[in-house]
Amino acid sequence: MKLYIKLSKEETDQWDTLKQALTGGQMSNDTLARILFFKGIHAITAELNERVENMTEEEKEEIMKQMSAEQADAAMRMAEEEFSGEDDEKSDQDNN
């Protein structure tokens, strides 16, 4: 998959300044963009997970009602996968 971002002259100058500051110019635009993209995805996901964890059960139920059945199933599968991985890590840490 390819993503293209059209930047203005000012945004391009800001990108070049950021790239220089972060990498000393030793990294390609593609590599830096990929790293920043996935760090952003990770940050957004972490924020959403934190928000869900802080919701009451009633709030969670209301949101699930608003979602389509397909979206709800996908969300539940993702949550189950995430929590099952965390449980395994906690068990490993507890056993050590």
Structure tokens of 7? 């930047």
DSSP at 39:
H
pLDDT at 93: 53
Residue 8 confidence (pLDDT): 96
Based on DSSP, count helices (H) and strands (E) in the chain, helices before strands.
4, 0
Strand, helix or coil for residue 96: coil
List the domain boundaries for the chain.
Answer: 57-96
Which pLDDT score, from 0 to 100, does residue 19 have?
Answer: 95
Q: Which residue has the tokens 């100058």?
A: 13
**Integer Cα distance of 5 and 25 in angstroms:** 20
pLDDT in tens, the chain (96 residues): 888 899 999 999 999 999 999 999 899 999 999 999 999 999 999 998 998 889 898 888 887 777 777 777 888 888 888 777 654 455 455 544
Q: CA–CA separation, 34 vs 6, rounded Å?
A: 16
Whole-angstrom Cα distance, residue 14 to residue 34?
17
